Chains A and B, each alone.
Chain A
Amino acid sequence: MNTVALAPPRKRRHLLRNSGFLALPLIILVWSVADPSLGRELLDWVPYLASGFMMNIVIALLAMTLGTLVGTLFGILELAPYRLVRYPVVAYVQVFRNAPHLVLIFATTYIFPFEIVVAGHYLPFPDWVKAVIGLAIPASAYVAEITRGAIQSIPTTQWEAAKGLGFSQGQALRWIILPQCLRRSLPPWMNLFASITMGTALASLVGVHELLHAATDASTAVRRLDFTIVAYLVVMAAFFMLCYPISRLTRRLEGRFNAA
Chain B
Amino acid sequence: MNTSADNAIVRLEDVHLSFGQTHVLKGIDLTVNKGDAVSIIGPSGSGKSTILRCINALVQPQSGRITVGGTRVDQLSKESERIALRKRVGIVFQQYNLFPHLTVLDNIVLAPTRILGADRREAEKLARELLDKVRLAEKADAYPGQLSGGQQQRVAIARALAMKPELVLFDEVTSALDPETVGEVLWVIRDLIRDGMTSILVTHEMRFAEEISDTVVFTENGRIIDHGSPEQIFHTSDNPRIRQFVGGLSGGRGAVRDGEGI
What is the distance, in angstroms, from B204's C-beta to the closest C-beta of chain A? 20
Contact B111 A167 (CB under 8 A): yes
List residues of chain B with CB within 8 A of the CB of A169: 79
Chain B residue at minimum C-beta to C-beta distance from A168:
B83
Query: Is A175's beta carbon under 8 Å from chain B?
Result: yes
Chain A residue at minimum C-beta to C-beta distance from B169:
A164
A117-170 residues with Cβ-Cβ distance < 8 A to B are 157-158, 160-161, 163-169
Q: How far is the CA of A160 from the CA of B56 in the complex (A)?
A: 12
A209-260 residues with Cβ-Cβ distance < 8 A to B are 260
Q: Of A7-15, A45-53, A176-184, which stretch is located at the interface?
A: A176-184
A164 with B86, Cβ < 8 A, contacts A171-B115, A260-B145 known:
yes
Chain B interface, number of residues (Cβ within 8 angstroms): 26
Chain A residue at minimum C-beta to C-beta distance from B112:
A165
Chain A interface, number of residues (Cβ within 8 angstroms): 18
Contact B97 A166 (CB under 8 A): no
Interface string of B99-111 (1 = CB under 8 A from A): 1111000000011
Q: How many A-B residue pairs have CB under 8 A?
A: 57
Query: Is B154's beta carbon under 8 Å from chain A?
Result: no
What is the distance, in angstroms, from A185's C-beta to the closest C-beta of chain B? 13
Q: How far is the CA of A165 from the CA of B169 in the complex (A)?
A: 12
Pick from B86, B100, B101, B102: contact of A165, CB under 8 Å: B86
Q: How far is the CA of A44 from the CA of B114 in the complex (A)?
A: 59
Contact B93 A157 (CB under 8 A): yes
Contact A166 B115 (CB under 8 A): yes
Contact B101 A166 (CB under 8 A): no
Contact B101 A160 (CB under 8 A): no
List residues of chain B with CB within 8 A of the CB of A168: 79-80, 83
Q: How far is the CA of A163 from the CA of B79 in the complex (A)?
A: 11
List residues of chain A with CB within 8 A of the CB of B163: 165-166
Q: How far is the CA of A145 from the CA of B14 in the complex (A)?
A: 46
Chain A residue at minimum C-beta to C-beta distance from B98:
A161
What is the distance, in angstroms, from B99's C-beta to the closest C-beta of chain A? 6
Q: Which of B58, B83, B98, B145 has the most CB of A within 10 A?
A: B83
What is the distance, in angstroms, from B94's C-beta to the closest C-beta of chain A? 9
List residues of chain A with CB within 8 A of the CB of B197: none
Query: Is B250's beta carbon under 8 Å from chain A?
Result: no
What is the distance, in angstroms, from A235's C-beta to the closest C-beta of chain B? 41
Q: Which residues of B contact A (CB under 8 A)?
A: 56, 58, 79-80, 83-84, 86-87, 90-91, 93, 95, 97-102, 110-111, 114-115, 145, 159-160, 163
7 additional A-B pairs beyond A161-B97, A166-B115, beta carbons within 8 Å, are A160-B97, A161-B93, A163-B58, A165-B87, A165-B111, A171-B114, A179-B102
